Amino acid sequence: MRAGIARQLSRVVMGALVGIAAMAQASEPAIRPPGAGVFVLPAVPSTERSGAVAEQRLVVNEVVFHGNRVVPDAVLRAIASPYLGRPIGALEVEELRRLLTLHYVNQGYVTSGALVNFPGDYAGGLLHVAIVEGRVVQVRVSGQERLSEHYVAERLMPESKEALHIGQLRERYELLLSDPLFSAINTRLVPDVEQGRSILYVEVARARPYQLSVFANNYRAPSVGESALGLSGWLRNLSGFGDQLSANFQGPAGTGKWDRYALSWTLPLNARGTQLSLQLDDGTSSVIENPLQQLDIRSKLSNAELGLGHAVLDSLHSRLAYGLARSHRNNRTWLLGEPFSFTAAIPEGVLTESTWKLWQDFSWRTDTRVLAARITRYQVHNNLLPPISGYGGGAQPEGHYGYWLTQLSLGQRLGESGVQLQARATLQNAPSRMTALDRFGMGGAATVRGYRENQLLRDRGAVLNLEVDLPVGDKRESSALQFGVTPFFAWAKGSNVGEAPSVLSSAGLALRAEGYGLSANLVLARRLIRPAYVDALGGTQQDQGIHLQLSYSIF
């Protein structure tokens, strides 16, 4: 009897899964693009009652379950309780087995179920029921090219011994769809030869692993030349483990030289959200704005940072991650060709800083809203000389200090026309004076448009940005050309410790156009607050409220 019931359950589960695979193949293309569907398996249909009713009827006082892990005994006993304390036969036992299997299926465990041989599994008033919790025993990946097969397999089934839950598998599948390494993913679940075991077939299409763009903008500080030309690009999967190398090179327009570069490399260490990061930056600048141009003021800044991050929560709707980084910065300054300290506490024109950075990221999203927050704690150690009486009204940066940086953002879709409301806030709080390297910059294309880049550098500060993105023309994502108009408002307030605060504010329009590899962004801003020291500077595009960037994606 046990063998017959086992064969019956095997035929039911295998038939359901084969039917599921057939329906998926009939209704879906061979490769599904991201967001073009949801990975869903229908529930296993109920088994038919056996037409043969055993003549023997026995009283069951207790049901003993074997093999269950994800569903506790108490839940299974509650399902079995109506069959206790009275004579039952094979028909009732089959009904109980069906209800136990159906409970697993309804909970998302579509390849799990119950096995029972009656009366062979009955003894002394006890009925023994075997629970088979189905699992994926193998993930077979194709189309991954140089990418490690484990990269895909471990993100879909991180635990090989866990029971297969179709909801969890669907969510992992959709998270993998958002991975920039892939342009499309198709999955197929097939039963193995052994009861409750399945094989997951995954076919992926790799996205282009590289990009190179050329750009021109006026996003630099006017004192060192606001116009810049540059190259930026990235390469993915150099190691075969899903890493990414990004690079940015730029220099003053018209010089044909690079004076700044930035390199960053990230490497996923496992499928659970642990990631290693490395960043290198180097830049030189010279003051070219009169009347200081004749003084030959130059600066060189180098930075190296090593970090480790881990996502403790990563789902379709929310993410929580923590990280720790260590950085080292070196800033050298010259005047008239000689090392020179523009701050008395900096020895021989060389400022070095070693910084610990502890950060926390949180994001939450729905179909129409995205909320994100990042809180970072900085702890700085530098080579400044002991405080000198009389510097800055009795206050100068110390050799050790800490501060907080908080970043908040909200995106809200308004209606179905593509209109989006965006709000951003950034706050820096410092209890003591800091060096210029750590001060909060306000003004420029990324903070308060209509003012110079880093118009204000302060120990403490806050920036608020509000804007409404209005698509213009053909709003379909497949359209070759995309246009948009974005009205915006920006406000900032900052102060040094022991000094009065300064305020900046502006409003205006941001215009964008994208298509055929080209991208253009033009900002026209008007200052709402006009401090005298700001109005006195009026010879650059930034002073006139114009911020412009043009870029072209070569490939």
CATH number of the CATH domain containing 199: 3.10.20.310
> Backbone phi, then psi, for 287, in 5-degree steps?
-75, 120
b/e 173-194 (16+ beta carbons within 10 angstroms → b): bbebbebebbebbbbbbebbee
**Structure tokens of 231?**
């190259």
How many of the other CB atoms lie within 10 Å of CB of 68? Answer: 20
**pLDDT confidence of residue 478:** 60
Looking at residue 416, its pLDDT comes to 86
Q: Are residues 98 and 151 in the same domain?
A: no
Whether residue 186 is found in the same domain as residue 218: no
Structure tokens at 355: 């910084």
Q: What is the mean pLDDT of each run of 10 residues along the chain (555 residues)?
A: 41 40 37 44 48 68 94 95 92 94 96 91 90 94 94 91 93 95 95 91 96 96 92 96 97 87 97 96 88 87 97 95 98 90 86 97 96 98 77 70 97 91 97 94 95 94 97 71 95 94 96 94 95 74 94 94
**Same domain as 222, residue 353:** yes
* d(C-alpha 359, C-alpha 376), whole Å: 4
In CATH, what number is assigned to the domain containing residue 330? 2.40.160.50
Q: What is the pLDDT of residue 379?
A: 98
Residues 177/204, Cβ–Cβ less than 8 Å = no
Report residue 258 as tokens. Answer: 């690079």
13-30 b/e (C-beta count within 10 Å ≥ 16 → b): bbebbeebbeebeeeeee
pLDDT of residue 79: 96
Is residue 102 domain-shared with residue 150, that is, in the same domain?
no
* H/E run at residue 155: helix 149-156
Look at residues 132, 165, 191 and tell me which one is the last residue of a structural domain.
Answer: 132
Which of 156, 188, 150, 181 is CA-nearest to residue 31?
Answer: 188
Number of Cβ within 10 Å of residue 221's Cβ equals 19
Give the span between the Cα atoms of 472 and 482, in whole angstroms: 7
Q: Which residue has the tokens 């390297």?
A: 437
Pairwise CA distance, residues 331 & 317, whole Å = 42
Q: What is the pLDDT of residue 35?
A: 43
Residues 183 and 227 reside in one and the same domain: no
Of 132, 161, 190, the one marking the end of a domain is 132
Tell how strand 62-66 and strand 126-132 pair up.
Answer: parallel
pLDDT of residue 132: 95
Same domain, residue pair 124 and 10: yes
Element (H or E) spanning 59, and its range?
strand 58-59
Cα–Cα dist 408/423, whole Å? 8
Residue 325: CB partners within 8 Å, gap ≥ 6?
277, 305, 306, 307, 308, 356, 357, 359
Per-residue pLDDT, 477: 62
Cα Dmax for the chain: 109
Do 301 and 412 reside in the same domain of the chain? yes
Copy the structure tokens of residue 175. Answer: 């998270």
Same domain, 97 and 215: no
The distance of Cα 477 from the centroid of its chain, to the nearest Å, equals 22
A 10 A CB-CB count for 75 gives: 14
On whether both 116 and 190 belong to a single domain, the answer is no
Last residue in a domain, options 158, 180, 206: 206
Report pLDDT for 533: 73
Spatial contact of 481 and 513, defined as CB atoms under 8 Å apart: yes
- Between strands 400-414 and 260-268, the pairing is unpaired
∠ CA(354), CA(259), CA(336), 5° rounding? 85
Amino acid at 210: Y
**Which residues are within 8 A (CB) of 200 and not within 5 positions of it... i.e. 6 or more apart?**
136, 138, 139, 140, 156, 157, 169, 187, 188, 189, 190
One domain for residues 13 and 48? yes
Q: Confirm if 249 and 223 have CB atoms less than 8 A apart.
A: no
- Are the C-beta atoms of residues 151 and 172 closer than 8 Å to each other? no
Residues 49 and 198 in one domain: no
Q: How many domains does the chain have?
A: 3
- Domain co-membership, 298 together with 342: yes
Domain ranges, residue 412: 210-553
Say what the pLDDT of residue 190 is: 94
